[in-house]
Structure 1
């Protein structure tokens, strides 16, 4: 749960409306290699596994919803995944991360790695995952279309996904220093801005997919005894969850960092906003036959678009939203890969050492 923000204002406030907020103390560069960047490190393993699973569920929902739309022309764009597939995606992409790190072995032949080696490993793993449930019955035959889709996804992971993820770094606060004073944060900007707004929106949209898939799978298990743990959501939920969480995060910044409100004081505003957002989206989507939920058969519902029956769930998600926001505040997107060169694990200090050695030779 998020800690209470700073409650006191500066004794002599800045005319521009700046308020002091306790921020992690930043290390000053001391001239040594990497001292200036000592507070940034690689994303921890648990965070990468979390992201891999969430990203895999998003791809499941995207592909299944598009397939359903092409077959049935259903504007609801419902897609499917499961917590089981989430775990499998986490483990699979963690293994693929290790495969991608071997790119240095193909330094003189990058085309072979990106177009042959990595796609072959990726497709093999996807076929294995798809057959895990049917190994005792009958091996599923992969169609040519599925192979093409797997190959395109392999190119995406090898050329875009791993490269982008390698640029993310976790900001580690330094040891508290009495000489470190609170930073001033402009009222018009987010405190300790890390990831760009577009990236945060995408993260919240994918996390909305994960939330709905887990919720519907557990609901189906309890209500229908469905032990396959199959869950569903809609592509429209990506936009709805992404925009809602993005705006709730802005509300969190204002109420927590600017006003110093505690979590239970902020909670009613979160819940009211979420209900209003869900109702507004449902009302618009219903006009086009694209609303994927209907609570008419639930008690305490309003127009079948919202229901108080889900209030405990929204309360839990609202509190967890603050946890996610605090975690994202520590993630930085670096222009250059800090600490390690892209995909090959070489330390920047080695590169700097080579450059310094060349300079010394020229001076001598």
Structure 2
């Protein structure tokens, strides 16, 4: 066709041949396609679903319960086991309380020009009031428990943490709704950019470690509370765990997730082939960590009275539980693959309460 256009008769500039050639040159760049890709990416990204936020809030609240109670135990008894306490009931209360605090934090835009009033007065006051309510909800009909000055200071510090770190970090997370987990895993590194956002990345390793560590504490609190209910008829559903378990679950689950991603997406192994490797690694990790902690009298578990135990550190009696947790670990890994982290370009001005307003205006413009 190029030869025919070159050797053919030359007409005026507005001839059909030249106009056809002009049309072809305008079609070559194809610029609308990247715009369509960004629109598709924006449509597939949304804020974290409500159920996911409630799940995370409860898990985070249980972790704070265990942290504070274990620190109190260390100060009072010098116990190196770092045992802390919480309950499924408190997990539900933390989910609802954090959800309410999320709504309170969204009112930051009403304090434009007065960020100090919001961060240092309004939000901490609401947070402390909710924490006092949770602490007295069991005994509200009998007597109101007055918190000490130390507890008040701790609650105020936690309120600052929630206002300056927790909510801001959570607002940077986006959730993929349409892209399969296999496609997300096959594209490591920055993803497409969404409107008014920076480049999207997978969750950093330390965030995944924190998530798995908090989830491990929740698992142990729920398990021990059910055990106390069945064996001791403890209807308070009080459970316990150790801060050392946070490190153990966080590191173990982090490695198991790497095994899952490699064995499933790179090697194509099915669940039945992956499970034995998970179980062997979990038992090895539990035994190794327990052996090290026992040297410092910090090991919080002893299976010597259980059948099929080895040195009191591992037992086959818990094999069904580890199998269930391993299968659930795959589910959690697929969910975490869909979560992307970005730094909002408007988040730096969040101190003056304009984050929500600017994001909403960007959405309207788009």
Using structure 1 for the length normalisation, give the TM-score: 0.82
Is 1:295 the counterpart of 2:303? The answer is: yes
Q: Are residues 272 and 350 of structure 1, via their aligned partners in 2, closer, same or farther at CA, if it must alter by over 3 Å?
A: same
Query: What CA deviation, in whole Å up to 9, does each residue of 1:90-126 have, x standing for no partner?
Result: 0000000000000000011110000000000000000
Structure with more helix by fraction: 2
Unaligned stretches of 5+ in structure 2? 1-31, 192-200
Q: Deviations over 1:75-101 (max 9, x none)?
A: 100000000000000000000000000
Match of 1:332 among 340, 344, 350: 340
Q: Give the corresponding residue for 1:59.
A: 64
CA deviation after TM superposition for structure 1 residue 29, in Å: 3.5
Question: Bigger CA drift: 50-59 or 129-138?
Answer: 129-138
Matched residue pairs, number?
A: 321
> Matched residues in 2 for 1:99 and 1:183: separation?
33
1:196 corresponds to 2:204: yes
Q: Distance in 2 between matches of 1:338 and 1:174?
A: 26
User: Which whole-Å CA distance do the structure 2 matches of 1:318 and 1:346 have between them?
Assistant: 43
Q: TM-score, normalised by structure 2?
A: 0.82
- Equivalent position to 2:130, from 105, 125, 130: 125
Query: Is 1:109–2:114 an aligned residue pair?
Result: yes
Measured after TM superposition, the shift of residue 345 of structure 1 is: 2.9
Note the C-alpha offset of 1:137.
Answer: 1.7
Which residue of 153, 174, 179 corresponds with 1:169?
A: 174
Q: Equivalent residue of 2:288, what SS?
A: helix
Q: Please report how far the alpha carbon of residue 35 of structure 1 lies from its aligned counterpart in structure 2 after TM superposition.
A: 5.3
1:315 alignment counterpart: 323
Q: Distance in 1 between matches of 2:112 and 2:276?
A: 55
Shift of 1:336: 1.2
Does the aligned pair in 1 maintain the 2:87–2:238 contact within 8 Å? yes
**Residue 162 of structure 2 is aligned to residue 151 of structure 1:** no
Q: In structure 2, do the counterparts of structure 1 residues 272 and 114 end up closer, same or farther at CA, with 3 Å as the change threshold? A: same
Q: After the TM superposition, which residues 86-97 of structure 1 pair with which residues of structure 2 at under 5 Å, given as runs?
A: 86-97=91-102
- Cα contact 1:53–1:87 (8 A) shared by 2: yes
* Structure 2 residue aligned with 1:213: 221
Corresponding position of 2:21: none
Alignment counterpart, residue 165 of structure 2, candidates 155, 160, 167: 160
User: Does the residue aligned with 1:134 lie in a helix, a strand or coil?
Assistant: coil
Structure 1 unaligned runs (5+)?
1-26, 176-180, 357-364
Specify whether residues 206 and 261 from structure 1 end up closer, same or farther in structure 2 by C-alpha distance, changes over 3 A only: same
Distance 1:352 1:285 in 2: 53
C-alpha distance in 1 between matches for 2:249 and 2:291: 15
